[in-house]
Structure 1
Amino acid sequence: MIDIPLWAWAATIAFIIALFVFDLLVAVRRPHAVGLREATVWSVFYIVVAIAFGLVVMAAGDGTAGTEYFTGWLVEKSLSVDNLFVFVILMSRFQVPIEYQQKVLLFGIAAALVFRTVLIAIGAAAISVFSFTFLLFGLALIWTAVQLMRHRNEEPDVQDNWLVKRTRALLPLSTDLHGGRLLAREDGRRVATPLMLVFIAIGSTDLLFALDSIPAVFGVTTEPFIVFTANAFALLGLRALYFLIEGLLGRLVYLSTGLSLILGFIGIKLIVEFVHLDVSETVPEIPTPLSLVVILAILAITTVASLLRVRRHPEERAKPGAVRKPRPREDGDTHDKDRAAT
């Protein structure tokens, strides 16, 4: 593990918060539909920032730390694309006006980063105390990979969400957006706007994604600083990336297959790590540079194969995949009524 001084942690966290605040001010102070040019500029900016940070890590530490960061960032970025699928479904199901979409995305992403930071701290503590955590993480990732492969052509029910249902039960809901606010007052009482439901759905859905992505990045490195920054810089550009590739997502028909292969590979890597540490050191570890090559190859093959498939079958559209079979919609289900109200 590399030695990260306290001032480096503080400076990095301050820098990440500053970027989030700046992004939030851009989205909230001037609600507007994000065009392709604006989305491209911001996407490139955040990719450049993430790469520049990786080069700093490489220069300040060593080649291993830099390789671990770039591999972890690539894993988190690729898994974030699957998040975007669900975000697109959420925006459509809740009929969020386009000028408010980036605000909701940013609130959800900020909440996701807080949740992931907590999970990273728990994961790092568990790994430092119990080496069999590698085994548990590995088995969890392999299970997720199998489930994602089984349900790769399905869409998760984004409204069948415990937090969303509890919000509906506990808070009176308004049909008015109230200028893009999350909470408002109507007739002297506090009500939740439709955007509050979307915010909760995005934050809680990303928390579920984190249960896969955090173990995945721990399969690349056990250094908490690299795990945290890889997650943070992967999430930072998600708002702009959403608007940039929203139209392209439907063409990535093999994305779920590729992601399941990546999760399965990292799961195997974690199990091998456990065997190396607790069973026999003669069992070789899977080196991080090899992991980077495998992940890049899977992403490249998946993307090219998807585009070729859609070119031959333009009627096909990608699905985000699900880790469990969506609940069948029953007669009298209130979801459609709630959606119509929003």
Structure 2
Amino acid sequence: MQKLTFPRMGESWRTFKMLLEDLGNEVVVPPRPSKRTLDLGVRYSPEFACFPLKILTGTYLEAIEMGADTIVTSGGIGPCRAGEYAMLHHKILADLGHNIKMVVFEPPRFYPFNFIKNVYILNRARHSIRGIIALIKKAWRKLQALDNAEKLSHVIRPRELITGTTTRVYRKGLEWIDQAYTNEQIIDAETAALEALRNVPQNPEAEVLRVGIVGEIYVLLEPASNLEIEETLGNLGVEVERSMFLTGWTRDNTWTETTEGMTVKAAAEPYLPELVGGHGRDSIGNTILCAKRGFDGMIQLAPFTCIPEIVARTILPKVSRDYDIPVLTFFLDEQTGKAGMTTRLEAFVDLMRRKKHFRQGNGLLTG
């Protein structure tokens, strides 16, 4: 039996593991990216490759050590190197002597036959079409539950009375959702996880800032790649709203573009009317939409050398001036340290708080 692995992006691995096992495969869960993961990726990837490619190189090598012989991953379209990741990873691994099979899912909205062919390859249990659809729907429901729990944790964390409570409760909720198997169990586990989060003791008078986070999908979704920035911000009294979750990205790339996706494009058009690949245009559009909703600031997360996010970075200062919203950019690579990031975040939070006081007439915007 083939042993499958896949890129690790946040908590979505819990869904992919269940679906692939339901289809009759043995799954090697990729380990959470660590210093060793990054060391392996840096050693065997091209020097100027973007950060996600390096992390995934290390992830695949660790999964191969654990017995994986097949990698299930995504492709991509447009002027972004992510669409070439699978081919480059296959070559890197082959050069290192690993005979690995790649199953690459292109966006089903543009390549439906690729999707059907790959599902057939992975359907080792030989489920009927109706059975496959039922399994995909169940996996989708679990992915929604995971995303909903994470979204609520971002709201509760800056208001908690005891630092760290939300994170502990959230992780417990993740385990409940992970252990749920049927649709009914998934719904019950989600309900219990959300209720547990709402019951975290909170300070009703907490002064909470609202910050939107935009950027490239991998560094947005994988906490190990962004040094747990959302948790750090929450502990600083900031409610985070991330521009992208895997459920939203999947909807936009599966059947048809969502209204939300089209709204983001329309917002960005005066500044960036063309597709530049990746999520560069989304970073512009979501920044504008968050500014209109009264957010206190924006943070852009970008892999070092990521061209779409570099393009967005050159435009964001004008967006910041036009909409009077502070924007902070982090370019992430193997040299990025958590201490330095935390220091910059503390200064940014202080700036936003003083700006908010100034607007409310409660203080002066002075050093």
TM-score (norm 2): 0.27
TM-score (norm 1): 0.29
More helix by percentage: 1
